[in-house]
Amino acid sequence: MFDFGFGSQMNFTALEIPYSDITAYFATHLHTDHVGDFGQIRVGSWTSGRLKPLEVYGPSSNKPEYGFAHFVKHQCESCRWDTESRVHALPAVGAEINCHEFDYSEVGVIYEKNGVRITSFPAIHIMDGPVSLKLEWNGLSMVYSGDTTPGEFMIENALGVDVLIHETFNTVDQLMTRSGYDERSAKVIGTIIHSDPTEAGFVIDKCDPGLCVVFHFFNDFDTAPEMERAIREHYSGPKPTVA
Ligand SMILES: [Zn+2]
């Protein structure tokens, strides 16, 4: 599973997919909307019958205390009461974690098993650490951007993929008029920390995926038409699925 942000496990549970079907979890970066459900993936899979350590992968940073291993260690420490209250009732191995921290700054394979290959490459988001992830299996490919502004890494690694799941925030105007941001904050968050929809459309056009899904914006009746129009400024390929 790529990312496990707050609320994601509620959606995941609603889909009635058994936790035991997920063999490993991968984080793109350590914002809570991407990793906030860590406690739930750990305990949810444990109480659902996981009989081996939890396998988690995530990026390093420029300092150890900003890296994924630090995050996992202290998340677990903060949940000590939870873990110890369950360890007498559930198989203790379920509390164990195999944490795999990989170099955020490299383009490289971080997972290869049963024909599944996952490659990490740097994302340009905020501070050091964020990555995008590419999954390849059986001749099919998918790239998940995580959070990123436009960059050559994405265009190089997502060129011609079957599915591109790319982030975009709302337009600067929408962030100001609907979300109440001041102009400076809207521009910083909407175009420097994230891709605005015209930027996302530019990257999607360069990557030319078989299918594109955009995410990471307030998707409502009064935002979606403008978002699609902005994406279409540069992208004229298959009609995007707006999620
Ligand atoms: Zn983020």
Residue written as token pair 């740097």: 122
The reply to whether domains 1-102 and 105-243 share a CATH topology is yes
What's the CA-to-centroid distance between 29 and ligand 1, angstroms? 7
Distance 91 CA to ligand 1 centre (A): 35
Tell me, in angstroms, the distance from the centre of ligand 1 to residue 65's CA: 17
Alpha-carbon distance 86 to 73, whole Å?
A: 18
Where exactly are the structural domains of the chain? 1-102, 105-243
Q: How far is the CA of 95 from the centre of ligand 1 (A)?
A: 28
What's the fold here for domain 105-243?
A: Metallo-beta-lactamase; Chain A (3.60.15)
* Predicted confidence pLDDT, tens digits, the chain (243 residues): 999 999 999 998 899 998 888 999 999 999 999 999 999 999 999 999 999 999 999 999 999 999 999 999 999 999 999 999 999 899 999 999 999 999 999 999 999 999 999 999 999 999 999 999 999 999 999 999 999 999 999 999 999 999 999 999 999 999 999 999 999 999 999 999 999 999 999 999 999 999 999 999 999 999 999 999 999 999 998 865 555
Alpha carbon distance 136, 189 (integer Å) = 31
Superfamily holding 1-102: Ribonuclease Z/Hydroxyacylglutathione hydrolase-like (3.60.15.10)
